[in-house]
Chain A
Amino acid sequence: MEYMLLIQASERRFATLGQKEMGANMEAYGTFTKELFQSGRAGDCAALEPTKSATTVRVRNDQRSVSDGPYAETREQLGGYYVVNVETPDEAYAIAAKIPDATGGAIEVRPVKNMVTPEQGSAAKSQAAVGKKPADATKEYLLLICEDEANWAKITPAEAGKIMGEYKAFSDEIKTSGHFVAGAQLGPAAAGKAVRAKNGDRTVTDGPYAETREQLGGYYRVWARDLDEAIALAARIPAARTGCVEVRPVMDTSAYV
């Protein structure tokens, strides 16, 4: 079973750290990530540029609206994530507790309902083949799907099926065009947990982690040429019409890994 571990840490506090502390933090993540990959549990993962580099994309009445933000009013902000493949929920919490920012921050643990996978070799016919990444697409972005979960309860199964079909079509299109890196649909926010660590002890509390009007429903990770192309991709996601898509640049951590 897969879980998405969302790193919720205070950017404000992070900004007060000195060079040495920041370096130590990055080293700790480097070590953790290496060990996670060695354990065979690691899936997609990324560090994100701070929320001040975030852009929100909405589509209303066929009109695209792009704005700076969101301006996170929450005490902690999403700084990165790991998708892990485990046998039990407890394993997921144990891994979460080892993430450096579990101490001082919180790791939101969300069950993954469905991982969007690129086709591998002779995969099922229903999965489109992944095309070659466009040469000018040199920047990765995380497209976070944010919407009010309650919306799903208000529509008929037929309507829901239609929307899922649109998601499938979008996934196939960006795989063919070579922009697709990874993606997932998450289970409900209420099924999430918040894991915190302190002096080697861990606490696991029930979700949702943060009381917000819109919840994270899933994500796509994509290659793009620049923010304009990332915005164009985000605008094609169905949730852009009912909620919003948050475009977060992925941080380049190649120096540390």
Chain B
Amino acid sequence: MDTTSFASFMREDRGRVLSALIARAGGDFQMAEDALSTALEQVLREGAPPQASLGAWVHGVAKHRLVDAQRRARMMDRHHAALASSEPDEAYEPVEAEAVGDERLRLLFTCCHPALAREAQVALALRTLGGLSTEEVARAFVVSGPTMAARLGRAKEKIRAAKIPYVVPEPSDLPERLDAVLQVIYLIFNEGYACTRGEMLQRRDLCAEARRLGELTVALLPDSPDPKALLALMLLIDARRDARSDESGRELIALEQQERDRWNHDDIRAGDALLREALELGPPSTWAIEAAIQAVHGHAKSYAETDFSQIAALYASLLERCDTPVVRLNAAVAQGRVRGAEVGLDALSDVEGDLGQTHMYWAARAELLRQLGRPEAKAAYARAIELAGNDAERRFLERRAEG
């Protein structure tokens, strides 16, 4: 098997095949994963028959391995002296995608079950549905491979020991559970968009993974507005990826200075269309309002021509549904654009209690002070620089402080 087909399988089919195997394994993640990795090793070694599609063949071999493992487990339970042989009795048969249901929705909801720690949810979603290796997930969150492997292992063990069911939640639980899924996806996107640590400003691969998970959720829940709204939000933000940092990927370019012809206008159009669809399906969610804000930026030909009144109005609307310090901070900045920096500073001081220990607060404060030509801007930048976790953001702030 050549590396391209293998890589393609990992990307496209692995999640779907794994989700089906977990269903067959009665919700046992570890058993299903073991069957799949054994099958992959075997197919890598022996190859697949020319007439079978790789995905279908791997699925067939894995299913066989799983049935085998289950048979052996039952035998050990009954303390039988003779263990089942490790060779299968029957020949392998490919399992075509169309022949089995798509169990990825069950997998997605189970990964994001609230009984799992948030960081475990994110790791599991990326590993099982995102198609990332354990090493890649570890790098995404700046921990070592063994640490991430342990985190994944604990999550799977909890699913087994606590008997977290492998199901799509009941309609009555669905809104709460779906929101958890969307939060996990958005967390991954945010980590890729503005890395909390490290040299690079962005991790394109994480944003791409989040988009893929977002697309999957939309495809699996076509009548639900919130997945569409989240995907719209991500597309509209991601559209700016090429303009947001310089060629090296190390230097941050603020929205004001971005070259708008480097924005991906296909993404902006796609985001718009999804947002419209979402709004047709239900009342605006917080995801939809945030997407609408990004859409206003996406339509503006320049920073100066941006309709900040509309943005401020959208933030006011967002605050009604979701009054958090971060939203209040963003609303304050928007107010500053519309009604002047003094008003912005006033509104910003509201959140000093909650966000005074974050670089984001001090950066916003510094920018407003700078606009007013106030000398306190320097101290504010210094504070922001102290608190910044990401090198690119720190250097950006240093440049602003000097300039």
Q: Which residues from chain B contact A49 at a C-beta distance below 8 Å?
A: 161-162
What is the chain B residue whose CB lies nearest that of A224? B163
Say yes or no for A27: interface residue by CB 8 A criterion. Answer: no
Report the bound CA distance from A228 to B162 in whole Å. Answer: 10
Question: A68 contacts B164, CB within 8 Å?
Answer: no
CB atoms of A66 and B115 under 8 A apart = yes
Which A residues are in CB contact (< 8 Å) with B44?
A: none
Q: Which of B113, B116, B161, B173 contacts A249 (CB 8 A)?
A: B161
A49 to B161, CA, bound (A): 7
What is the predominant secondary structure among interface residues of chain A facing chain B?
mixed
Question: Which residues 76-91 of B sit at the A interface, judged by CB distance below 8 A?
Answer: none
Q: In the complex, what distance in Å separates the CA atom of A247 from the CA atom of B115? A: 10
Docked-complex contact A227 and B162, CB < 8 angstroms: yes
B27 CB to closest chain A CB (Å) equals 8
Q: Which residues of A contact B114 (CB under 8 A)?
A: 66-68
- Residues of B with C-beta under 8 A to A139: 163
Chain A residue at minimal CB-CB distance from B170: A228
Q: Which residues of B contact A55 (CB under 8 A)?
A: 115, 162
Please judge, given known A-B contacts A52-B157, A53-B157, A53-B158, whether A227 and B116 are in contact too, CB under 8 Å: no
Q: In A1-59, which residues have CB < 8 Å from any B CB?
A: 49-50, 52-55
Interface residues of chain B: helix, strand, loop or mixed (majority): loop
Total number of residue pairs linking A and B with CB closer than 8 Å? 46
The B129-173 residues at the A interface (CB cut-off 8 A) are 154, 157-158, 161-165, 167, 169, 173
Using Cβ atoms and an 8 Å threshold, which residues of chain A touch B348?
none
Contact B157–A227 (Cβ < 8 Å): no
Whether B120 sits at the interface, judged by CB under 8 Å, is: yes
Q: What sequence of 0s and 1s flags, for each residue 291-313 of chain B, a beta carbon within 8 Å of any chain A beta carbon?
A: 00000000000000000000000
Bitwise interface map of A from 238 to 252 toward B, beta carbon under 8 Å scored 1, else 0: 000000000101000
Question: Cβ of A198: which chain B residues have Cβ within 8 Å of it?
Answer: none
Please tell me if the beta carbons of A53 and B161 are within 8 angstroms of each other in the complex. Answer: yes
Interface string of B95-115 (1 = CB under 8 A from A): 000000000000000000111
B160's nearest neighbour on chain A, judged by CB, is A53
Contact code string B10-38 (vs A, CB < 8 Å = 1, else 0): 00000000000000000000000000000
Interface presence of A162 (CB below 8 A): no
Question: In this assembly, does B379 line the interface, its C-beta being within 8 Å of a C-beta of chain A?
Answer: no
Given A66-B115, A68-B117, also A249-B163 (CB < 8 A): yes
Nearest chain B residue, comparing its CB with the CB of A55: B115
List 5 contacting pairs A-B, 8 Å CB cutoff, sorted by A. Answer: A52-B157, A54-B162, A68-B114, A226-B163, A227-B165
Chain A residues with CB under 8 Å of B157's CB are 52-53
Which residues of chain A are within 8 angstroms of B164 by Cβ–Cβ distance? 226-228
Bound: A50/B163 CA distance, A = 13
- A225 beta carbon closer than 8 Å to chain B: yes
Closest chain A residue to B120 by CB distance? A68
Residue A128 CB within 8 A of the other chain:
no
Contacts of A146 in B (CB 8 A): none
Bound together, the chains give a CA A113 to CA B79 distance in angstroms of: 43
